[in-house]
C-alpha cells in the first residue's frame, strides 16, 4: 500500500515537473491563455483540463495495453487507423516534429532568460539569452550531468514559490478583482496583452491543453507501459488538479493586479515585487535556474534526433542550433515567442487528438464485439 502511494505521488510529481516550464514559471503563458479572457478564463481552464486528462489517460492506457518498448511508438499506434503505411509516415512526421518543437521551446527559454534578466536587473536585452545559450551548449556537449541533476530539483521549489506568490497577491488584489475583470472584458488591455485563440476561449483552452501533447505522448506511453496503470492514471489526475488549480490561482492574482502585470514580460516577478523586493530577487534567481534545467534537455532532444551524441556532427549542430536559437530570441520579443510557437504546436495537437479519438472509439467497439 505504501509503495503504491509513493509510486502515485512520484508519477504526479513527474507530470507536474514535466508540464511546468519557463512559460508557466514566468506566468506569461497564463496571461496569454487565460487572464486575457477575463471572466471567461474558467472556460479556458476547463477545456484545457479536459484535453489534458483525456489525452494522458489514452497515452498511458494504450502504452500499458500494448506494452510499448519505446514511448514514441504511440504515434504509429494512433495513425494506424488509416493503415500501417500511413501510420508509419505520419508517426515519422510527428516524431521529428516533436524534436523540432523541443528545439523551438529552447528558443522560448532563451527569450525567457533574456526578459528575466532585463526586467529584474536592467541588463540589456539579449544578454540573458547569450549567457543561457553558452551554458546550455557547454552542458549538452560536455554532459555536466551532476550540475543538471542537482539543479533539476528546482522544479518543486518553483511550484511552491508560484503558489505562495499567487495566493498572497490574489488575496491582496481581491478588492480590485471585479473592477479589473470588467476592464479586461472591455478590452482595455488588448494593446499590451497578447492573446492565444483570437478571442475564442474554447480555442485557447484547446491550444493550452494541446501544446504539451507532443511532450506527454511518448513520456506517458512509456510510463504506462512500465508501471501499474491505476497508479499512473491516479498520479496524472492528481497532477491535473495541481497544475490547473495553480493556473487558476495565478490567473486571479494576475487580474487582481492587471494594471502592472498586463504589459510585463515576466508577470511573476511583478507580483513577487508587490510582496517583497528580496523575495522578488530570490524568485528571479530560481526562475533562471529553472529555465536552464529546462533548456538543456530541450536543445539536446532537438540535436540528438539528427546526430549521434559525442560525434563532430553532434557538436557542430549543438553549437549552430544554440547560436541560431539565441539570435531568434534576441530579436523576437518573449511574448511573441510564446504566442506563436506554443499556439502553433497547440493547433497541430488538434490533429493528433482527432486520430486519438477515432482510434480509442474503434478499440472500445472492438472490445464490445
Q: Which three cell numbers stand for residue 27?
A: 506566468
pTM: 0.86
- The domain locations on the chain are 41-368
- Given this model, what pLDDT does residue 22 score? 65
pLDDT band at 145; cut points 50, 70, 90: low
Q: Among 53-57, 146-150, 271-275, 293-297, where is mean pLDDT lowest?
A: 146-150
Q: 209 burial class (0-12, 13-18, 19+ CB within 10 angstroms)?
A: buried
Better-scored residue on pLDDT, 346 or 151? 346
pLDDT tens digits for range 312-367: 999 999 999 999 999 999 998 888 888 888 777 887 888 889 899 999 998 888 87
Take residue 57 and report the three cell numbers written for it: 489517460
**Predicted local distance difference test score (pLDDT) of residue 9:** 83
Contact criterion met (CB below 8 Å) for 288 and 116: yes
Q: How much is the average pLDDT of 83-89?
A: 85
Q: Looking at the chain, how many residues does it have? A: 369
Predicted pLDDT at 123? 94
What integer pLDDT is reported at residue 14 of this predicted model?
Answer: 75
User: Average pLDDT for residues 249-258, to the nearest whole number?
Assistant: 95
Nearest one of 104, 102, 97 to 79, comparing CA atoms: 97
In the CATH hierarchy, which fold is given to the domain comprising 41-368?
Answer: Amino acid/polyamine transporter I (1.20.1740)
> Which grid cell is 357?
479519438
Output the pLDDT for position 281.
Answer: 93
| 111: confidence class by pLDDT, cuts 50, 70, 90 | very high
Q: Residue ranges of the alpha helices (H) in 173-262?
A: 174-185, 201-210, 213-226, 229-256, 258-261
pLDDT attached to residue 90: 86
Q: What is the pLDDT of residue 146?
A: 52
φ, ψ of residue 29 to 5 degrees: the values are -60, -45
pLDDT digits (tens, 9 = 90+) for 6-57: 888 888 877 777 777 667 888 998 999 999 999 999 999 999 999 999 999 9
Lookup: cell for 48: 484545457
Residue 115 has pLDDT above 70, yes or no: yes
State pLDDT tens for residues 191-231.
888 898 888 999 999 888 887 787 788 778 888 888 888 88
Q: Could you say which DSSP state residue 257 is in?
A: T
Amino acid at each position: 500500500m505504501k509503495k503504491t502511494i509513493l509510486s502515485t505521488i512520484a508519477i504526479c510529481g513527474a507530470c507536474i515537473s514535466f508540464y511546468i516550464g519557463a512559460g508557466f514559471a514566468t506566468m506569461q503563458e497564463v496571461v496569454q491563455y487565460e487572464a486575457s479572457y477575463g471572466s471567461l478564463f474558467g472556460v479556458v481552464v476547463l477545456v484545457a483540463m479536459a484535453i489534458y486528462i483525456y489525452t494522458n489517460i489514452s497515452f498511458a492506457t494504450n502504452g500499458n495495453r500494448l506494452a510499448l518498448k519505446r514511448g514514441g511508438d504511440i504515434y504509429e499506434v494512433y495513425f494506424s487507423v488509416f493503415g500501417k503505411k500511413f501510420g508509419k509516415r505520419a508517426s515519422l512526421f510527428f516524431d521529428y516534429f516533436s524534436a523540432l518543437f523541443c528545439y523551438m521551446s529552447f528558443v522560448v527559454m532563451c527569450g525567457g532568460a533574456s526578459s528575466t534578466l532585463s526586467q529584474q536587473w536592467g541588463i540589456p536585452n539579449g544578454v540573458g539569452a547569450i549567457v543561457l545559450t553558452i551554458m546550455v551548449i557547454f552542458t549538452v556537449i560536455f554532459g555536466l550531468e551532476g550540475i543538471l541533476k542537482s539543479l533539476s530539483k528546482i522544479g518543486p521549489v518553483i511550484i511552491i514559490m508560484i503558489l505562495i506568490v499567487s495566493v498572497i497577491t490574489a488575496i491582496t488584489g481581491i478588492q480590485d478583482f471585479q473592477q479589473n475583470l470588467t476592464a479586461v472584458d472591455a478590452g482595455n488591455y488588448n494593446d499590451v496583452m497578447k492573446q492565444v485563440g483570437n478571442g475564442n476561449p474554447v480555442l485557447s483552452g484547446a491550444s493550452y491543453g494541446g501544446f504539451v501533447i507532443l511532450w506527454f505522448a511518448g513520456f506517458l506511453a512509456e510510463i504506462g507501459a512500465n508501471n501499474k496503470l491505476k497508479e499512473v492514471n491516479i498520479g496524472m489526475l492528481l497532477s491535473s488538479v495541481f497544475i490547473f488549480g495553480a493556473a487558476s490561482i495565478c490567473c486571479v492574482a494576475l487580474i487582481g493586479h492587471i494594471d502592472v502585470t498586463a504589459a510585463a514580460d515576466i508577470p511573476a516577478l511583478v507580483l513577487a515585487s508587490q510582496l517583497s523586493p528580496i523575495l522578488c530577487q530570490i524568485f528571479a534567481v530560481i526562475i533562471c535556474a529553472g529555465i536552464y534545467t529546462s533548456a538543456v534537455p530541450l536543445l539536446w532532444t532537438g540535436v540528438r534526433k539528427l546526430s549521434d551524441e559525442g560525434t563532430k556532427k553532434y557538436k557542430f549542430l549543438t553549437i549552430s542550433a544554440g547560436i541560431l536559437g539565441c539570435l531568434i530570441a534576441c530579436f523576437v520579443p518573449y511574448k511573441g515567442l510564446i504566442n506563436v510557437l506554443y499556439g502553433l504546436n497547440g493547433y497541430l495537437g488538434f490533429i493528433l487528438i482527432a486520430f486519438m479519438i477515432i482510434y480509442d472509439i474503434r478499440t472500445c467497439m472492438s472490445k464490445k464485439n
